[in-house]
Amino acid sequence: MRRIIAVLLENEAGALSRVVGLFAQRNYNIETLTVAPTEDPTLSRLTLTTEGDDGKIEQITKHLNRLIEVVRVFDLTEGDHLEREIMMIKVRADGATRAEVKRTTDIFRGQIVDVNQNTYTIQLVGPSGKLAAFIDALDRNQVVEVVRSGVSGIGRGDRILSL
Amino acid sequence: MTERLSGGDMLIRALHDEGVEYIFGYPGGAALHIYDAIFRQQEIEHILVRHEQAATHMADGYARATGRPGVVLVTSGPGATNAITGIATAYMDSTPIVVISGQVPTDLIGTDAFQETDMVGISRPVVKHSFLVRAASEIPDVVKKAFYIAASGRPGPVVIDVPKDTTDPNERYEYNYPAEVSLRSYKPSSGGHVGQIRNAVRALSEARRPVIYTGGGVVQGEASAELVAVARKLGYPVTNTLMGLGAFPGDDPQFLGMLGMHGTYEANCAMHHADLIFAVGARFDDRVTNNPAKFCPEARIIHVDVDPASIAKIIDVDIPIVGHCKVVLAEILAVLETEIADTLDNADDVTAWWQRIDRWRAEHGLDHDQSERRGAGGSLLPQQVVQAVYRATGGDAYVTSDVGQHQMFAAQYYRFPEPRRWINSGGLGTMGFGFPAAMGVQFAFPDKTVVCITGEGSFMMNMQELSTCMQYSLPIKIINLNNQALGMVKQWQDMQYAGRHSQSTYRDALPDFSQMVASFGHVGIKVTTLEELNSVVPDIFGDRYRNDLVFLDAHIDPDEHVYPMSIKGGALKDMVLGKEEPT
Ligand SMILES: Cc1ncc(C[n+]2csc(CCOP(=O)(O)OP(=O)(O)O)c2C)c(N)n1
Ligand SMILES: [Mg+2]
């Protein structure tokens, strides 16, 4: 099962490498990883997605908690949560395809953020599944370049991860 | 008025304020400011080793014997990388050591400078935590945190990497050693969950075939007295892991001996047939469980450990209790004493259980007096050597060991009366650990008998320390079970590779150990028969050699195997018991 794990950690040099190192060392898989400082500059918040059954996720969260610089670990997928990822995708858009790309972008509520004669660059925000669906909706041959931010997530309502 | 000190002086002063007596180390360029600070003080004694790996094992041995962190100082680059094996050894056995490594100056980091190694990076998977000093002024704080992290919770090694510029003698700072440390991201647990304690007591009082299985956590956690009290109150059988030996008195009838791959028949059978396993400070290592799918099929499991990540890692647990072993055992004892009558309702079942265990013990238990046996051609047997050492020391020595057959013979036949007396590399299985570890123990306890039971293969991995022993007059007693082979490897090859001894023998290429140690000013004695053994062992531990390092080179039957030995992929009860009698 796919899991989204949020981690609060000390915003210190080397802290991120311990988290990443842990996954390599224990043979856990990281699918996406995003990290940035929070409103409190001494803390970073990291969101990562991984695959695993309950036992494996339990081990992952325990081992994350064992890292000295990790302050809190939260498995977002255990309850209601929001998940967002941002993608920028450059698509060949010339002649007849130009209108069609624009139409598909509108359907997915994407924005065209850069244009030239041959390409559109489209920005799309949403759960990872939506981004994947958008790529699928395009003609593969039209896709020139894709960059995705990786997932970030937050609990709904009273599910709060803080100090 | 606060003093103004250089970074190097602050580092040494902070160690002193932390109560450090010894630094085990080896100098080099990046550490020279620190070495100069050592030269200009008297409080801490620096022990000059001959190889940085040995320094880490010495600090580790010191830590295991005393419970206090051992301290290592090495230079950057090769000094740091040489320390890695010892750091990993300490990590796997959760022992508190603090390793200070010199680093190239901050402005050279990342430039492939002379003797530059990313120590924080290279040690990361084998430390509990590490620090790269960013500024001299943070040194006192970093030292305080390092010792706190190393020794609290589940202990472990901590690295402090110190760029040379932060120890510059010309730059001075106000020195204040912090009285306390608090880390918002690190709060080791102590007492167990009250509800879980009650559940555990209920399960314990209802058990019909209980076994108490304890590991290194009870030794490290100073919980032996509490363990003994709980075990006495319940009257249940106790087994220890390789790391846990000594937590329960080794010659006590309630003790089943060690369990696991080379555990006793009765300990492994009792575990397999138990209906309740009370695991304390143990981690269900694969050398204990054998095939996890076949592990203790009928048992409910209570697991007490200070590290939540150890619980349910390998084996599912019915009653997990996260907490310090000492505190949790005391809590369990308190509930047992107030709520459980003098005789438990399960007394008849437990009596029947003991009868079964005693039968296993009578059938295939270890023979603690093998003086009638002889090896091939009348040769000496390794068990006889360990038994002679056990008798001559009255069970009262600190015994370190290395890795191999000799280690298992020592674990099986030296019956440890107390915790912290048995010191070996259980988790990483580091050959070369035993001798330097013994040195660390001898520094901690100059008047105690310290024995290293080793094999010639393991000894040769750190024998350069004979020179260090000469320098500091360490009267260690080294018992070399010399089978002229990498015996444990050879045993596996006998059992699993039809006796093809690929790269496990070197019979014609061994030194005369007695002469070799004599050249370092030590006493070397060679024995080849039981009679010779019996005539020298009392002397070795008597007044005659009280102040000498003695190396007993005991030439033993090279073909002796360690038994019992678990059958790969089987259950805990599945063991080979001897060359002629597989189960
Ligand atoms: C550093 C290291 N290298 C290799 C091994 C694998 N190993 C385990 S036991 C053993 C043989 C040990 O030989 P010796 O010290 O003579 O002990 P014996 O088994 O003969 O008693 C070896 C090579 C190890 N444990 N550690
Ligand atoms: Mg050998």
pTM exceeds 0.90, yes or no: yes
ipTM above 0.90, yes or no: yes
Closest CA in chain A for residue B322: A62
Q: Which residues of chain B are within 8 Å of residue A64 when distances are taken between CB atoms?
A: none
Q: For B133-198, list the strands marked E by DSSP.
A: 158-163, 172-174
Q: Could A69 and B309 be called an inter-chain contact, meaning their C-beta atoms sit closer than 8 Å?
A: no
Residues 175-214 of B with CB under 8 A from A: 183-186
Q: For A104-155, list the strands marked E by DSSP.
A: 111-115, 119-126, 143-148, 152-155
* Distance from the first to the final alpha carbon of chain A: 28
Q: What is the pLDDT of residues B171-207, one digit of tens each?
A: 999 999 999 999 999 998 878 888 999 999 999 999 9
Closest CA to B60 of B4, B33, B99, B108: B99
Q: Could A59 and B185 be called an inter-chain contact, meaning their C-beta atoms sit closer than 8 Å?
A: no
Looking at the complex, does the CB of residue A124 fall below 8 Å from at least one CB of chain B? no
Contact (Cβ atoms closer than 8 angstroms) between residue B245 and residue B258? yes
Q: Which of B287, B407, B458 best tests ligand 1's pocket when mutated (most atoms within 8 Å of CB)?
A: B458
If phi over 0 gives left and psi between -120 and 50 gives alpha, with beta otherwise, what is residue A52? Answer: left
3-state secondary structure at position A5: strand
Distance of residue B315 Cα from the nearest chain A Cα, in angstroms? 11
Instruction: Please give the distance, rounded to the nearest whole angstrom, from the Cα atom of residue B509 to the centre of ligand 1.
Output: 17
DSSP string for residues in B213-260: EE-HHHHHTT-HHHHHHHHHHHT--EEE-GGGTTSS-TT-TTEEEE-S
Query: Which atom of ligand 1 sits closest to the CA of residue B461?
Result: 1
Which positions of chain B have pLDDT values less than 70?
1, 341, 581-583
Instruction: Please give the distance, rounded to the nearest whole angstrom, from the Cα atom of residue B571 to the centre of ligand 1.
Output: 25
Tell me how far apart the alpha carbons of residues B251 and B90 are, in angstroms, rounded to a whole number: 28
Tell me how far apart the alpha carbons of residues B439 and B471 are, in angstroms, rounded to a whole number: 12
Q: Could B185 and A70 be called an inter-chain contact, meaning their C-beta atoms sit closer than 8 Å?
A: yes
Closest CA to B451 of B520, B528, B536, B392: B392
Specify the DSSP element, H or E, that contains B343.
none
Tell me how far apart the alpha carbons of residues B279 and B556 are, in angstroms, rounded to a whole number: 37
Looking at the complex, does the CB of residue B133 fall below 8 Å from at least one CB of chain A? no
3-state secondary structure at position A81: strand
Nearest Cα residue to atom 24 of ligand 1: B431
Structure tokens at B269: 């059978």
Q: Which of B53, B408, B431, B557 best tests ligand 1's pocket when mutated (most atoms within 8 Å of CB)?
A: B431
Distance of residue B313 Cα from the nearest chain A Cα, in angstroms? 7
Instruction: Please give the distance, rounded to the nearest whole angstrom, from the Cα atom of residue B404 to the centre of ligand 1.
Output: 5
Quick one: which ligand is closest to B382's CA? 1
Closest CA to B309 of A92, A40, A26: A26
CB atoms within 10 A of CB A103: 10
If phi over 0 gives left and psi between -120 and 50 gives alpha, with beta otherwise, what is residue B581? Answer: beta
**Burial classification of residue B417, based on how many CB atoms lie within 10 Å of its CB (0-12 exposed, 13-18 middle, 19 or more buried):** middle
| Upper half-sphere CA count for residue B160 (Cβ side, 13 Å) | 34
Q: Could A68 and B308 be called an inter-chain contact, meaning their C-beta atoms sit closer than 8 Å?
A: no
Q: What is the pLDDT of residues A37-90, one digit of tens each?
A: 999 999 999 999 999 999 999 999 999 999 999 999 999 999 999 999 999 999
Any idea what the Cα angle at residue B397 is, between residues B391 and B402, rounded to 5°? 100
Q: Can you give the three-state secondary structure of chain A, one letter per residue?
A: CEEEEEEEEECCCCHHHHHHHHHHHCCCCCCEEEEEECCCCCEEEEEEEEECCHHHHHHHHHHHHHCCCEEEEEEHHHCCEEEEEEEEEEEECCCCHHHHHHHHHHHCCCEEEEECCCEEEEEEEECHHHHHHHHHHCCHHHEEEEEECCCEEEECCCCCCCC
Annotated catalytic residues of B are: 52, 114-115, 164, 488
Q: For B104-199, list the strands marked E by DSSP.
A: 129-132, 158-163, 172-174
Average pLDDT along chain B: 96
Please give the C-alpha separations between residue B172 and each of B5, B7, B13, B43, in angstroms, as whole numbers: 5, 7, 13, 21
Contact (Cβ atoms closer than 8 angstroms) between residue A15 and residue A79? no
Looking at the complex, does the CB of residue A42 fall below 8 Å from at least one CB of chain B? no
Q: Which residues of chain B are within 8 Å of residue A63 when distances are taken between CB atoms?
A: 309
Instruction: Please give the distance, rounded to the nearest whole angstrom, from the Cα atom of residue B393 to the centre of ligand 2.
Output: 23
Tell me how far apart the alpha carbons of residues B571 and B232 are, in angstroms, rounded to a whole number: 29
Q: What is the pLDDT of residues A85-127, one digit of tens each?
A: 999 999 999 888 899 999 999 999 999 999 999 999 999 999 9
B413, amino acid identity: Y
Tell me how far apart the alpha carbons of residues A72 and B496 are, in angstroms, rounded to a whole number: 47
Looking at the complex, does the CB of residue B283 fall below 8 Å from at least one CB of chain A? no
Point out the residue among A14, A63, A66 whose CB comes nearest to the CB of B120: A14
Instruction: Please give the distance, rounded to the nearest whole angstrom, from the Cα atom of residue B489 to the centre of ligand 2.
Output: 9
**Phi then psi dihedrals of residue B454, to 5 deg:** -135, 180
pLDDT of residue B1: 57
Contact (Cβ atoms closer than 8 angstroms) between residue B533 and residue B374? no
B452, amino acid identity: C
pLDDT of residue B583: 45
Looking at the complex, does the CB of residue A58 fall below 8 Å from at least one CB of chain B? yes
Quick one: which ligand is closest to B489's CA? 1
pLDDT of residue B234: 96
Tell me how far apart the alpha carbons of residues B301 and B318 are, in angstroms, rounded to a whole number: 5
**What's the DSSP call for residue B170?**
T
Distance of residue A163 Cα from the nearest chain B Cα, in angstroms? 9
Tell me how far apart the alpha carbons of residues B552 and B524 are, in angstroms, rounded to a whole number: 6
Nearest Cα residue to atom 5 of ligand 1: B431
Q: Could B125 and A25 be called an inter-chain contact, meaning their C-beta atoms sit closer than 8 Å?
A: yes
Closest CA in chain A for residue B118: A14
Average pLDDT along chain A: 95
pLDDT at residue A163 is higher than 90: no
3-state secondary structure at position B5: strand
Show the domains of chain A with their CATH numbers: 2-79 (3.30.70.260), 82-152 (3.30.70.1150)
Contact (Cβ atoms closer than 8 angstroms) between residue B389 and residue B554? no
Tell me how far apart the alpha carbons of residues B302 and B293 are, in angstroms, rounded to a whole number: 18
Distance of residue B161 Cα from the nearest chain A Cα, in angstroms? 13
Instruction: Please give the distance, rounded to the nearest whole angstrom, from the Cα atom of residue B240 to the centre of ligand 1.
Output: 23
Q: Which of B489, B493, B513, B565 best tests ligand 1's pocket when mutated (most atoms within 8 Å of CB)?
A: B489
Q: Which residues of chain A are within 8 Å of residue B128 when distances are taken between CB atoms?
A: 68
Structure tokens at B418: 């107390």
